[in-house]
Amino acid sequence: MKKKLISLLLSTALAATLLAGCGSSAADTAAPAADSGAQEAAPAADDSAAADTAAPAANAGGTTYALVTKSAGNPFMERMASGFQEAIEAQGGTVVIQNPEAATPDAQISVIQSLISQGVSSIAVDGNDANALTAVLTEASNAGIKVLTLDSDVAPDTRTVYCNQAGVSQIGETLMEAVYDLTGGEGDWAILSATSQATNQNAWIDAMKKLMESDSKYAKLNLVEVAYGDDEPQKSTDQTQALLQNYPDLKVICAPTTVGIAAAAKVLQDQKSSVKLTGLGLPSEMAEYIGDDDAHSCPYMYLWNPIDLGRLAGYTSIALVDGTITGAAGDKFTAGELGDYTIEEIDGSTQIILGPPFKFDPSNIDEWKTVY
Amino acid sequence: MKKKSVGQFLSESREASLVIVLIILLIVVGIINPSFLSFTNIRQIFLNNTLTFLMALGMLCVMLTAGIDISITSTLAFAGMSIGLLQKYNILHNTFLLFVIGAVIGIVCGFLNGIIIAKGHVAPIICTMGFMYIWRGMAYVISNNNWASGMDVAGFSDFGKDGAPGPYIILIIAYIIFFVVMKWTRFGRRIYAVGSNTEAAQVSGINVDRTLTGVYTIMGFLAGLAGVLSVSIYASAQPNMQYGKEMDVIAACVIGGVSMSGGRGSVAGTFLGALIIGIISKALPMVNIPNFWQNLIKGVIILAVVILNVVTQRTMERQNLLRREM
């Protein structure tokens, strides 16, 4: 018993020394709660955040808010995490950012489990699968942790609220309108998506399909195929080339995914194809391909601001933890500089919508390509 | 010597059986979608699979020594990410120098594999598994959550642009060099000797350690080169690039008749194996096979070809035996 106590003390001291060495902000450098917590809290592959995430403090002063992204090594996720971190640190909270090594639900399950054992106050998840996370998120809620989602949702009854970058129908309408505009109102078009089970991709594609059926304006448009590039440049390239070869009358490709749209843009531009491209893409990735003339493959595209989306999730986490909102429809709160938000009931689930998608075209791409 | 029937000829040459498989594949796909056999399409098969074609040559050498290297796509990502970042942060934009740097990174990675396997007598799959995680991890660490793409690699990506000759020239040169080296040089014959019987090779004065180290270094060099090419062809450097694609390279070799137990395999067979892999991945989306089925069918085709290969091999051996008895 004595030995155990000594070793516990020693490891606590060691962890505290490490913490001090890390140079994290003075306010949070209280002794870590448990000896094992210190190592687990360090994120898998995020150097920038490492200093701030060393360990959750034991006293009530430091509430810890966690964010689980889709995967490491993705600039969109990185910007989102930076917004989240900024919003929470401005309010004096501690942030833990976990980037799973692969964009799979099982990788997320293991990081969420370690967050539960660390006893964080809230977990914001960018779901890699709608249903696979159900068990682990229910476990988190049972442990008293506030669970919310952002970017890509999970099953609605396993989380309190979903921070949606833009309403599904809003994105569907915007993209459909872009396809209508670029095709001139009639002809063949195709979709290049990410993986076939990506929750948000499928929701947007469904919204576009429904619009085509319900609105006679789109009656002359013919969606020839939904291809899946799995968010891999090589496979997206293969799929784009196959679309061009299989459908000689193709006029427009719509790629609502950042990897897919960049791969397709390169294929179209290299081949000097007359097929036009639109969709959702990162400005820094797409700057090379955006232009009105024939030399560029993408006249315009859309996206939201990932930094703002992260901020919104940060403020929502704080509001959930301090009890300002419970996640019920009609709850109102202020998300710092983003303004006032109300939780809405959309498609049978509670959501907070960031705002309409932002249009990137030749007039503003130069100013945005350096931002994200 | 009596005349051989066509059937006999085919069952005696593994490459010939692969050519038959290839022709059947092309006919089937060509009937379903005639545009598959267009010049552009054939050209793109080579372009999109440049990396598989290139790395299969290294994997051939490694597998001839009864080894395997599963760290290649990690080496590729590390080299690719490095040269991507050099451009992103405007340190270097010279295409030739970027190729040299990528190749040097690959050589270092491969040399480490080789030295540990040869001198440390660590099983190749274990050693390369370690480096698989290490180099992939390094790619993530140096990327620091950034990608290099689009405008970052503008100019450099012209080298691998669809229609530019660069990647094809590299492939042709690589295949010619390897064909010559494996068939007619002392180094090439040593690789075969080490693979078919290590002890006999040692006794006959071959420096086994040096041959092994050389083989893995060559593999690393090709993987580094593939990393640079990948960034150029896809105009994108991401830390997870070509994740899991080492299996395509190994599959190309296995389909091409390279034996996992060493000593058997040829450059021509490897080429045909890589070509079959390339045709499969290009053809499946074009014959309107639903996405969910594509991987499944790819697996079935790989198994079918390998089984055919093994059967051919057996018949070959049996016939050789019979001939000796007579």
Strand pairing class (A332-334; A122-125):
unpaired
Contact B150 A46 (CB under 8 A): no
Q: Return d(Cα A58, Cα A80) in angstroms, integer.
A: 27
Whether residue A145 is contained in a domain is answered as yes
pLDDT of residue A54 exceeding 50: no
Whether residue B4 is contained in a domain is answered as no
Whether residue A230 is contained in a domain is answered as yes
Asked whether residue A212 falls in the same domain as residue A282, the answer is yes
Q: Residue length, chain A?
A: 372
Query: Which structure tokens are listed for B66?
Result: 């009864």
Q: Say how many domains are in chain A.
A: 2
Q: What is the torsional sign of CA B66, B70, B75, B80?
A: positive
The pLDDT value recorded for residue B9 is: 57
Whether residue B140 is contained in a domain is answered as yes
Domain that holds residue B105: 14-27+48-317
pLDDT in tens, chain B (326 residues): 445 555 555 555 778 888 888 898 899 888 888 888 888 888 888 988 999 999 999 999 999 999 999 999 999 999 999 999 999 888 888 999 999 999 999 999 999 999 999 999 999 999 999 999 999 999 999 988 778 877 788 888 888 887 789 999 999 999 999 999 999 999 999 999 999 888 899 898 899 999 999 999 999 999 999 999 999 988 888 888 888 889 999 999 999 989 888 888 999 999 999 999 999 888 887 787 776 787 888 899 889 888 887 888 788 788 878 877 66
Q: Return d(Cα B317, Cα A114) in angstroms, integer.
A: 57
Distance from the A78 Cα atom to the nearest Cα atom in chain B, whole angstroms:
6
Whether residue A116 is contained in a domain is answered as yes
Whether residue B2 is contained in a domain is answered as no
DSSP string, A235-303: HHHHHHHHHHHH-TTEEEEEE-SHHHHHHHHHHHHHTT-S-EEEEB--HHHHGGGB-SSTT-SBS-EEE
Asked whether residue A271 falls in the same domain as residue A199, the answer is yes
pLDDT digits (tens, 9 = 90+) for B52-93: 999 999 999 999 999 999 999 999 999 999 999 999 888 888
Question: What element of type H or E holds A313?
Answer: helix A306-321
Dihedral of CA atoms A277, A278, A284, A290 in degrees, nearest 10, equals 60
Contacts of A51 in chain B (CB under 8 A): none
Asked whether residue A72 falls in the same domain as residue A138, the answer is yes
pLDDT digits (tens, 9 = 90+) for B130-149: 999 999 999 999 988 778 87
Domain that holds residue A14: 2-165+306-354
Strand pairing class (A250-255; A187-193):
parallel
Asked whether residue A114 falls in the same domain as residue A231, the answer is no
Q: Could you tell me which chain B residue has the CA closest to the CA of A49?
A: B144
pLDDT of residue A15 exceeding 80: no
DSSP letter (8 states) at residue B65: T
Whether residue A74 is contained in a domain is answered as yes
Whether residue B42 is contained in a domain is answered as no
Asked whether residue A148 falls in the same domain as residue A101, the answer is yes
Best of B44, B134, B149 to disrupt the A interface by mutation (most A CBs within 10 Å)? B149
Q: Could you tell me which chain A residue has the CA closest to the CA of B148?
A: A285
Query: Which structure tokens are listed for A220?
Result: 């002359």
**Closest by alpha carbon to A276, among A301, A259, A258, A257?**
A301
Asked whether residue A151 falls in the same domain as residue A14, the answer is yes
Contacts of B150 in chain A (CB under 8 A): 262, 284-289
ipTM: 0.73
CATH number at residue B55: 1.10.3470
Whether residue A368 is contained in a domain is answered as no
- Cα B134 from chain centre: 21
